[in-house]
């Protein structure tokens, strides 16, 4: 007997986007003229709107088994939220078929399923009724919901007066405790504080261990890998990878063109005197990649062109997370003198040693100034992206909250080494200057 609880078969969803061209302001004469045209024109002709068909999902198929914890990941606009809305029966697919066995509880947006004029207490009973539970069943879960949500003081207050964090606390508590066979949670948990996020991740694991199914959408790879055992990667509305969560997250960070670790930033500013043509990133084994482990070297090879010769410019190459700058190799700070640039092609390589970076996505950026330290040769720009994919439990830390917090933290200064060519190598390690 099959234990498939969700079966998605060739599901597609399209929307019609309308682009209406009009003047930046409308005069009374324009209004009168347009009203007159309305008498003789169809609605589609008014102000010449153009229509575009946009496919949010295209031929999506997958199966989910009972008790699975599935992470759905992808860049913004990949179709994740559309998929969850279809699975939650909020919107209907344009084509395809979905079979769901059991009750579905969804937490997609702050306030979803809550009536703003009703109190927290009334909304608990409302949501239970929507899920098909009777009053006695809801009452049996009521105390657990209130305790978990930590909003007991405000239980009889209309939820329109709740903060977004309180909203999410109560909404998740209701969704998780009213015994749905399938629990669907979107990025909304990011609203809560770290302690409550830990609590929610733990509850979702408990729900799964009881034989219920969890679908979880997040951009936080730490939370995804901490909770989920399986994954689905969406890209441009299509399934690019499905299966083991480690395999799926690795594909998430891998480029589709097959040239891992290769980037072509090009010219970003018309005033740039120096243009980055190519960027190669690799590890200490000279393997070009965009996925690194804690302790790997990050080797960044830069190929760029200059419009003329420049004597010993200041160069900086840095690493930043989605939250802050992590570190930078910067000749303006470390006192290292770079080689002069020649007109035409130049190369520089910088190696960040023994990455002590926590698991998450990072961006490389760089800039360059003349040796006066002021005149820009190249404005600061992002040049590449990479990810540290080590799991915290592989570092001996088997704790769900550490995965969550690791993906939102900033790491310290990293030792690095410059190679300007012609044997001009210089190293910098801020720890060498620390008195012990």
Q: Can you read off the two tokens belonging to residue 107?
A: 């937490």
Q: Which residue has the tokens 């105390």?
A: 143
Homologous superfamily, domain 262-433: abc- transporter (atp binding component) like domain (2.70.50.60)
Instruction: State the Cα–Cα distance between residues 147 and 346, nearest whole angstrom.
Output: 63
- Residue pair 231/244 in contact (Cβ under 8 Å)? The answer is yes
- Residue pair 81/184 in contact (Cβ under 8 Å)? The answer is no
DSSP three-state, residue 362: strand
Q: Which CATH number fits domain 4-9+59-252: 3.40.50.720, 3.40.109.10, 3.30.43.10, 3.40.50.300?
A: 3.40.50.300
Q: List pLDDT tens digits, range 204-233.
A: 888 878 888 999 988 777 678 778 889 999
Q: Model-level pTM?
A: 0.63
Q: List pLDDT tens digits, range 283-327.
A: 999 988 888 888 899 999 999 999 999 999 999 999 988 777 888
Confidence at 403, pLDDT banded by 50, 70, 90: low
Share of the chain above pLDDT 90, in %: 26
DSSP three-state, residue 27: coil
What rounded mean pLDDT belongs to the chain? 81
Q: List pLDDT tens digits, range 140-196.
A: 989 988 998 888 899 999 988 988 788 888 888 887 887 788 988 887 665 566 677
Confidence at 92, pLDDT banded by 50, 70, 90: very high
- Assess whether pLDDT exceeds 50 at residue 268: yes
Return the pLDDT at 116: 86
Instruction: State the Cα–Cα distance between residues 109 and 171, nearest whole angstrom.
Output: 10
Return the pLDDT at 45: 47
**In angstroms, what CA-CA distances link 396 with 112, 115, 154, 393, 402?**
38, 45, 41, 5, 11
Return the pLDDT at 352: 93
- Residue pair 427/336 in contact (Cβ under 8 Å)? The answer is no
- Residue 386, classified by CB atoms within 10 Å of its CB into exposed (0-12), middle (13-18) or buried (19+), is buried
Dihedral class, residue 81 (left if φ above 0, else alpha if ψ from -120 to 50, else beta): alpha
Return the pLDDT at 194: 64
Confidence at 422, pLDDT banded by 50, 70, 90: confident
- Residue pair 326/318 in contact (Cβ under 8 Å)? The answer is yes
The pLDDT of 404-408, averaged and rounded, is 62
- Residue 54, classified by CB atoms within 10 Å of its CB into exposed (0-12), middle (13-18) or buried (19+), is exposed
**In angstroms, what CA-CA distances link 57 with 14, 81, 223, 410?**
7, 10, 25, 35
Q: Which residue has the tokens 């005197």?
A: 273
Return the pLDDT at 302: 92
- Residue 147, classified by CB atoms within 10 Å of its CB into exposed (0-12), middle (13-18) or buried (19+), is exposed
CB atoms within 10 A of CB 301: 17
Q: Can you read off the two tokens belonging to residue 74?
A: 């992808």
Return the pLDDT at 435: 46
- E strands, 38-92, in order: 50-65, 69-73
Instruction: State the Cα–Cα distance between residues 292 and 389, nearest whole angstrom.
Output: 6
Domain ranges across the chain? 4-9+59-252, 262-433
Return the pLDDT at 301: 94
Q: List pLDDT tens digits, range 316-369.
A: 999 988 777 888 999 888 888 888 899 999 999 999 998 888 778 888 999 999
Return the pLDDT at 83: 93
- Assess whether pLDDT exceeds 70 at residue 279: yes
Looking only at Cα atoms, what is the longest distance across the chain? 86
Return the pLDDT at 338: 87
Confidence at 109, pLDDT banded by 50, 70, 90: low
């Amino acid at each position: 007997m099959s234990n498939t609880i969700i079966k998605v078969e060739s599901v597609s969803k399209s929307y019609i986007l309308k682009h209406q061209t009009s003047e930046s302001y409308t005069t009374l004469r324009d209004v009168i003229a347009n009203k007159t045209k309305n008498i003789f024109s169809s609605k589609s002709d008014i102000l010449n709107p153009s229509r575009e068909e946009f496919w949010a999902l295209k031929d999506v198929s997958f199966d989910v088994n009972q008790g699975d914890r599935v992470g759905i990941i992808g860049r913004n606009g990949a179709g994740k939220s559309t998929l969850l809305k279809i699975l939650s029966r909020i919107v209907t697919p344009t084509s395809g078929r979905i079979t769901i066995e059991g009750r579905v509880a969804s937490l997609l947006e702050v306030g979803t399923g809550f009536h703003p004029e009703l109190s927290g207490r009334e909304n608990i009973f409302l949501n239970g009724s929507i899920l098909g539970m009777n009053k006695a069943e809801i009452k049996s879960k009521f105390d657990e919901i209130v305790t978990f949500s930590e909003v007991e003081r405000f239980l009889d207050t209309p939820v329109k007066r709740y903060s977004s964090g309180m909203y999410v606390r109560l909404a998740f508590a209701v969704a998780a405790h009213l015994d749905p066979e399938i629990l669907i949670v979107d990025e909304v948990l990011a609203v809560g504080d770290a302690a409550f996020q830990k609590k929610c991740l733990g509850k979702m694991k408990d729900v799964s261990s009881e034989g219920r199914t969890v679908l979880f959408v997040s951009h936080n790879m730490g939370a995804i890998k901490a909770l989920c055992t399986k994954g689905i990667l969406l890209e441009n509305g299509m399934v690019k990878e499905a299966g083991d969560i480690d395999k799926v997250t690795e594909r998430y960070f891998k480029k589709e063109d097959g040239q891992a670790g290769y980037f072509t930033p090009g010219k970003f500013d018309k005033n740039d005197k120096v243009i980055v043509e190519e960027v190669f990133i690799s590890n200490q084994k000279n393997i070009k990649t965009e996925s690194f482990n804690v302790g790997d070297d990050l080797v960044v090879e830069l190929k760029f062109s200059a419009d003329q010769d420049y004597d010993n410019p200041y160069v900086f190459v840095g690493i930043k997370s989605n939250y802050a700058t992590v570190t930078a190799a910067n000749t303006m700070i470390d006192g290292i003198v770079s080689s002069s640039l020649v007109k035409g092609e130049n190369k520089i390589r910088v190696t960040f040693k023994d990455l002590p970076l926590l698991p998450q996505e990072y961006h490389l950026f760089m800039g360059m100034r003349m040796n006066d330290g002021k005149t820009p040769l190249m404005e600061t720009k992002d040049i590449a992206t990479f990810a540290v994919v080590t799991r915290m439990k592989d570092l001996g830390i088997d704790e769900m909250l550490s995965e969550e917090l690791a993906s939102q933290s900033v790491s310290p200064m990293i030792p690095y080494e410059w190679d300007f060519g012609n044997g001009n190598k210089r190293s910098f390690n801020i720890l060498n200057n620390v008195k012990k």
